[in-house]
Each structure stands twice: as C-alpha cells, then as structure tokens.
Structure 1
Amino acid sequence: MPTENASKPLTLTEQARRAQLIGVAIDLVAAHGYAGTSLARIAEAAGISKAAVLYHFPSKDGVVQAAYTTVLESLIEFVGAAVEPHTGAAAVEAYIRSLVGYMRLHPTHTRMIIESLVAEADAPGGPGRHETMAGLLTAAAKVGDYRRGIDSQVTAVIVNGAIDAIVSTGLTDPAFDTAQAAEELIRMLNGTFS
C-alpha cells in the first residue's frame, strides 16, 4: 500500500492516480471548502472508490495536505523564477506582478490557499511571505532604490495586504483588472519609498 513514506518508488500508474486525486482535491476545496470536501466526494469526483483513494493517501487530510503542498510549491516556483533574475526595486516589482499574475491564472489554487489559511492560521506560506517581502524591500533600500529608513517589516505587511485585496477582489469580480491593480500598487510603492 503506497503511503507518503513508502520505501519503494511509485509506479507511473500510481503517480498518475495521485496527481489525479490531488487535482480533484484542489478543485473540490476551491469549490466547497475544506469542510465540504469529503473522502467520498474526492472518490466520486475521481471516479474511484474510497478504498482506492485510501490506497494512495492515508486519509482525506492526507490528500488535502498533498494538494495544498502542490499548490504552494507551484506558486513558490512561479514567483521565484520571476524574482530571481532581478535585484532592488525590480525584484519587488517582479514579486508583486508574478504573485498577482499567478493568482489570476490559477483561481482554484488561490481558493485552496485561502481555504488553508482560513482553516489553519499558522499554515505554511502565511507569515513567511511577509519575511520574503521584507527581505526584498531591505535589499532594494540597500541599493538605493528605496529610502534607507523604510520599515521593511511594516511595509511588507501593507504590501501583502494590498496584494490580498487585489486577489480577493479579482476572485469575486471577474471584470476587475488585477494586472492593472498590481501596477498601481507598484507605482504607489515607488512613489512613497523612492
């Protein structure tokens, strides 16, 4: 029986089934929330039995945690690739654009992240993103792109709060231009701290 800690590698069929179950869990949590996502609902959406789901994951929580991890890794990889070639204010701008862009392109992932953060206040990715933004802001101040006295911790909370507002508005109002809002946030940040 494959588990998270199995010693033998998964077959291609097992990998495909796990990926399918993770995708189903992402869609269900996005549509129904954690509480509305049951093992039976996951099995039904995947077209298999609950026992077959349990063959691949130890529980509903196991599937949902794997789904959350998949979403978070995808987000981090996307944003990291966008930020990595930049320094200073350009890195901050790449972070804002890529984070808002990712959320716009992947609304089910966004809803999965929001559901996880609501369900568990200390879920991974919550407070850590403030540290990431604070580091980018500090680096930008060191190279002279932002004023030296910037309070990176407070500004990180403010910027991430603005990103949250942009993303949540985009989820509830499809006509809202999240890319334009991200650009406006960048202009505000540059105008205030340059």
Structure 2
Amino acid sequence: MQANFRPGEQRTFTEQARRAQIIEAAVEVIAEVGSAGASFAKIAKQAGLSSTGLITYHFANRQDLINSVVGEVMAAFAGHVGPLVDAQPTPADALDAFVGANVGFIRSHRKHLLAVLDIAAGSRATENGAAASAAVARADLDALEDLLARGQRQGQFRQFDPRSVAIAIRSLRDGILGALTVDPGLDLDAYGKELRTLVRLMTAVHTPGEAP
C-alpha cells in the first residue's frame, strides 16, 4: 500500500470520501479523548476501518491528519460564516450576522470545534504551534476590529476602542464552548438571542439623554 498525496494532487471521489471519513472519525476521537490520546488505532476503529494502514495510505503521518482536521473545520467555519456576513448591506447588519452565524456553527459543529480547541491547546506547547495559533487568532481579531471600525466611520456604532470591543465580542463567542462543557443542555437559541442583543447594546449609537 502506497499513496499519500502532495498538495494540489488530484484525488478520486472515492479517495476524497475516504479522507473525509477518516477526518470525521479523528474529530470524534479527539473530542472524546483529546489529541494526545487520539491514536491511529482508535481513529481506525471509530471509522470502521480494518487497518491503520488505510489511514497512512491517505495521510503522510499523524501530524498530517491533525493538520487536515484543523484545515477542514476552519474551511467549514469560513464557508458558513463568511457568506452570511458578506451578504449584509451594512456593518451593523454584518456584526449581527457574525454573532448569529458563529452561534449557529457552534450548534452544528460542537465536536469539531472542541477537537480544534484541544489541538490548538496542544500545539501551543511547541514554538511553531504557538506561532500558528497566534496567527489564526490575530487574523480573526483583525477582521472583527476592521468591521467595528467601518461601522464607526459610517456612524452606525458609537465611539469606542475597536480592538478592545473586538476582544470582548470574541471572548463572549469563545465562551460558548466552555459553557457547553459545563452545561451540555444549554439553550443555544436563547444564548444566541441574548448575545446578539448584548453586542447591539455594546456598540449602538446612543441618542442625547438616552442611558448608555
């Protein structure tokens, strides 16, 4: 058995489906036991594969599989949130869509995000992993800060420090997964509704005499 694939190399539909099956199995295992305990044997069993050799056929090594898990989840996140935000006519609408889309993605991809968070926590133990995690977090924060600054320039948001408010909003979003680990039955519809209201109140322009 040979294979492994170089970037840009074409894969058949069957090969793509098998890779997707392995990545989903890896997500399940990592979310349950953590990335450190996610052996090829456990992933193969979760995927219903007869041998770990079927994993090494599609992935060069364990790190290649871990990177593929992160890449697939981040691509799915961008594909879900990005179009919903970009379709909005104003920064205020875009911010509201951003919050709603994030909550919706967390609802439908809870295990995927838990797996990525576990991988990120482990990667921060290495110099390269820490740099990569910081770069992703910085890009996410920069985009949100830019959205807030555009809303201010257009008079849709009150005057505040965009970086500070972006950090606050992102922290509220990231806290959802922590809340779910404590309370798996958390009502995400109610949480999402209140989070959107909170963000609107946090950023809204206040008329004279109105309480902030």
The two structures have a TM-score, normalised by structure 2, of 0.83
The structure-2 alpha-carbon separation of the partners of 1:8 and 1:186, relative to structure 1 and needing over 3 Å to count, comes to closer
Amino acid aligned to 2:54 = A
- Are the counterparts in 2 of residues 104 and 167 from structure 1 also a CA contact under 8 Å? no
- Are the counterparts in 2 of residues 107 and 171 from structure 1 also a CA contact under 8 Å? no
Amino acid aligned to 2:161 = D
CA distance in 2 between partners of 1:175 and 1:45 (Å) = 25
Partner residue, 1:144: 155
Partner residue, 1:173: 183
- Are the counterparts in 2 of residues 104 and 170 from structure 1 also a CA contact under 8 Å? no
Partner residue, 2:70: 68
Out of 55, 58, 71, the position equivalent to 1:56 is 58
Please provide the CA RMSD for this pair: 1.8
Count of aligned pairs: 193
CA distance in 1 between partners of 2:34 and 2:18 (Å) = 22
SS at match of 2:37: coil
Moved more, 123-132 or 72-81: 123-132
Partner residue, 1:107: 110
1:128 maps to 2:139: yes
- Are the counterparts in 1 of residues 96 and 200 from structure 2 also a CA contact under 8 Å? no
The structure-2 alpha-carbon separation of the partners of 1:192 and 1:14, relative to structure 1 and needing over 3 Å to count, comes to closer
- Are the counterparts in 1 of residues 25 and 43 from structure 2 also a CA contact under 8 Å? yes
CA distance in 1 between partners of 2:189 and 2:154 (Å) = 27
Moved more, 62-71 or 125-134: 125-134
- Are the counterparts in 2 of residues 26 and 68 from structure 1 also a CA contact under 8 Å? no
Q: Which runs of 5+ in 2 are unaligned?
A: 125-129, 205-212
The structure-2 alpha-carbon separation of the partners of 1:42 and 1:162, relative to structure 1 and needing over 3 Å to count, comes to same
Partner residue, 1:32: 33
**Residues 90-115 of structure 1, C-alpha deviations (whole Å, 9 max, x = no match):** 11111111011110111111212211
Higher CA-based Rg: 2
Amino acid aligned to 1:91 = A
